[in-house]
Amino acid sequence: MITRVHIFVNGDVTGVGFRAWTYRNAIELGLTGWVKNVKRGKVEAVIEGEKDKIEEMITRCKKGPELAWVEKVEGEWENSTEKFIDFQILV
């Protein structure tokens, strides 16, 4: 079953390649959606796909790329719109 999560990642996550890292991991897991910087120290993402793959993505986001320091990941499960065809980095 396809589902969706809307997450915010807080910490030292901007300017350290977090968006590109998220993109690569989402593609690897077969997920769709987007990721963007919200402000210094916060990244936002909407991710759609199989629930177990999304849960794996959230687990990975709690660690992040090598240069990041993740303080917390907050998310809310939502109904999937299935409108995404790929995963994108938004500017």
Catalytic annotation, pick one of 4, 10, 37, 79: 37
Nearest residue to 19 (alpha-carbon basis) of 30, 33, 5: 33
Residues in the chain: 91
Q: HSE, CB side, 13 Å, CA atoms: give it for residue 46.
A: 13
Catalytic residue check, 37: yes
Catalytic residue check, 4: no
Q: Are 29 and 57 in contact (CB under 8 A)?
A: yes
Catalytic annotation, pick one of 19, 24, 40, 60: 19
Catalytic residue annotation: 19, 37
